[in-house]
Amino acid sequence: MPVEAGTQVQVTHAGFASVLQTVGDQDRLVIVLRVAATSQSIEVTAARTPLALDASASSVRTMTGQQLQEAPGFTLDDALRQVAGFQLFRRTSSWVSNPTTQGTSLRGLGSTAVSRTLVLSDQVPLNDAFGGWIHWNEIPELAVRDVELMRGGASDLYGSSAIGGVIDVVPVVPQHFGYAADVSGASEDTSSVNGLLTLGTHGWSGLAATTLFRTDGYILTAPSVRGPIDTDSNVHSQNGRVDLRRAFSSDGSVFVLGNVLNEARGNGTPAQTNATRLWRYVGGANWSPANAGRFLLRIYGDDQNYRQSFSSISTDRTSEKLTSLQGVPSQQIGGAVQWARGYAGKITLVAGGDLLDTRATDNETSVKSGVLQPTVSTSARQRGSGIYGEILWQPSTWSIAFSSRLDRFGNLDAKQTTAGASASVPLPAIQETVFDPRLGIVKKVGGGLSLTASGFRAFRGPSLNELYRKFQVGQQITLANGNLRSERATGFEAGALMELSRWGSVRGSYFWTQVNRPVASVAISSTPTSQLLQRQNLGQLESRGLTAEYELKPLPFLMVTGGYQYAVSTVTKFQVDPTLVGKWTPEVPRNSATLQARLHKDKIGILSVDLRTSGQSFDDSANQFRLAGYAQVDLYAEHAFGRRWQVYSSAQNLFNTEIQAGRTPLLTLGAPRIVTIGVRLH
């Protein structure tokens, strides 16, 4: 290929370190690719543009498809618990917990029902349109390629919700013919069926995938306070995904996909149930014309119906009375456009914008003495838009990235209507404008050592659920608050990444994040058997601490991975109730750690042992309800029969450790020992 002298040529190939070389006057140019270190072979797509792991100032952990597959558990959040510091609102897994408690957080920031971490897939946000929580079982298991967790504020590129970081669920992209199936059965009358089919021919490709899951679950209430009214928390769920793509040469492609989730749950008593039906649709285009950069377009939306029933339980837990029925229809539509281009091999520019519009109505029917009261409907619209830009400069051994974003978001058309009333009551409108910058620096010192530092601002707007919907879990009632304002965060982190040649890698960092006006559930009144809370802007909380992660291969057949997080997360300001200052942020332990040892011999199979530990935490803002620390051991074993068949077995909570999951104020427990046996075809 003829190339003019002075031209820079960059050569890349999967599994090898990229090489950038300037063409001289020679007739022939020889470029040798070297096998990449782990941090060079993994690209971070959660950063809006692909970036080698050792060139990112953020602390990033990638869970590969194989790691997700081998993780004991039934849902995606179970697998992500292998990452130290990954936390749900409570310690229960999403396969038995109420969807509204499935919010997640990173960096010790805690969460309510809403996530302080943005979860997305192929640039499309997955946080619930109405409540901000995550449907961890939305995407079929076999349609997930891997998951990237980028910790630290990322509102400079992604806007609202990315205070603690971004979790990118990277989907399987169909390219050619392939298939896979996974069928398993487990304790508590649990079964799971997974299927995947991909096709590809003459520029066309497609994918179809599904997961069918059911479990009787277990009784969440601790035996010491359990009564006849307590039943298993169970779930029956089905999801499906269809993806159709068309490639137009190597420069561009378009696609459309649809995803559906249908689930019904029992929440621990006969009267307390909920159900969700979520339809999501996405259309997009990727285009890389010569010398013009890379263009990305996404248009997406979803339509959801959510219903839930609540009850009041007698003190001796022998009976219950239905108290409320809720139904929440919501719709969301959005779009995003992005452009990125590299210049001279050292500079990359990124620019883009997005728009998201959500409409929802909370229909609540109270029940008094067995009689349905007039339905109260609260409807509102939430709109957010933003533009962002980033410049990435990579001279020699440096990588310097500056990015910023301007967001405008607000609520409008909010009103409350009571059935039979002559008029609606208008509710306050909220409009805010936010600017969030970020600076990240990486210096490759040599010998496999890289030093990193970054500083950021980030924000999260209140969800429609926090503003307008009352919620109950157990005997704990949380009231809405229509006057909530956005959370604003400032933070920095500094760390180091060390590549240990063939041994693996070690990464450590110090982080500090201060969140102003964090939304928290503050106790208004309490009895020995019930609590009344209200969502409020708490004043200020601060999370600071250390993280360490390692991925080591001391022997050809042994891989050891793990991590540790020390997080001091406390309330530092709250004028309304100064007694909360110095209290721990709810649901955030000071110490958490994970360890996995994986042995693999081709003729024998795979044996993996996982250890997860957590120190004590508190389930309330006043720190009155303590949750004891725990250590849980999981086990996974697999044996292959030929190239395509595998039989596996796993045990969650191998030693049947009692895990205190919540106090509302009654004690609820995490999952007991769960044994799974399955067969896999691929």
Query: Looking at 47-61, 166-180, 544-558, which range is the least confident one?
Result: 47-61
Q: Quote the pLDDT of residue 576.
A: 83
- Asked whether residue 676 carries a pLDDT value surpassing 50, the answer given is yes
Q: Quote the pLDDT of residue 41.
A: 44
- Asked whether residue 91 carries a pLDDT value surpassing 90, the answer given is no
- Round the average pLDDT of the chain to a whole number and report it: 90
Which of the four pLDDT bands, split at 50, 70 and 90, describes residue 13?
Answer: very low
Element (H, E) at 422: none
Under 8 Å between Cβ of 520 and 481 = no
Please give the average per-residue pLDDT across 493-505, as a whole number: 91
Q: Please report, for the chain, the start and end positions of each structural domain, with discontinuous segments joined by +.
A: 1-36, 37-51+59-681
Number of helices followed by number of strands (H, E) in the chain: 5, 43
Tell me the whole-structure pTM to 2 decimals. Answer: 0.91
Which of the four pLDDT bands, split at 50, 70 and 90, describes residue 544?
Answer: very high
Q: Quote the pLDDT of residue 10.
A: 54
Query: Looking at 51-65, 493-507, 619-633, which range is the least confident one?
Result: 51-65
User: Pick the residue with more confidence: 55 or 225?
Assistant: 225
Q: Quote the pLDDT of residue 114.
A: 79
- Asked whether residue 188 carries a pLDDT value surpassing 60, the answer given is yes
Element (H, E) at 78: helix 76-80
Q: Quote the pLDDT of residue 23.
A: 52
Q: Quote the pLDDT of residue 39.
A: 45
Query: Looking at 47-56, 204-213, 388-397, 561-570, which range is the least confident one?
Result: 47-56
Query: What tokens does 427 get?
Result: 């509710």
- Asked whether residue 665 carries a pLDDT value surpassing 90, the answer given is no
Q: Quote the pLDDT of residue 198.
A: 98
Query: What tokens does 406 get?
Result: 């301007």
- Asked whether residue 271 carries a pLDDT value surpassing 50, the answer given is yes
Please name the residue that has the structure tokens 């303590």: 626
Which of the four pLDDT bands, split at 50, 70 and 90, describes residue 26?
Answer: low
Q: In what order do the strands lie in the sheet with 471-473?
A: 471-473, 476-479, 530-537, 519-527
Please give the average per-residue pLDDT across 73-94, as a whole number: 89
Q: Quote the pLDDT of residue 545.
A: 97
- Asked whether residue 57 carries a pLDDT value surpassing 70, the answer given is yes
- Asked whether residue 343 carries a pLDDT value surpassing 70, the answer given is yes
Q: Quote the pLDDT of residue 33.
A: 45
Q: Quote the pLDDT of residue 27.
A: 56
Q: The dihedral of CA 471, 629, 589, 575: what is its sign?
A: positive
Which of the four pLDDT bands, split at 50, 70 and 90, describes residue 18?
Answer: very low
Please give the average per-residue pLDDT across 311-319, as a whole number: 92
- Asked whether residue 598 carries a pLDDT value surpassing 80, the answer given is yes
Dihedrals φ, ψ of 157, to 5°? -115, -30
Q: Quote the pLDDT of residue 4.
A: 54
**CATH architecture under which domain 37-51+59-681 falls:** Beta Barrel (2.40)
Query: What tokens does 550 get?
Result: 């390692």
3-state secondary structure 108-171: CCCCCCCCCCEEEECCEECCCCCCCCCCCCCCCHHHEEEEEEEECCCHHHHCCCCCCEEEEEEE
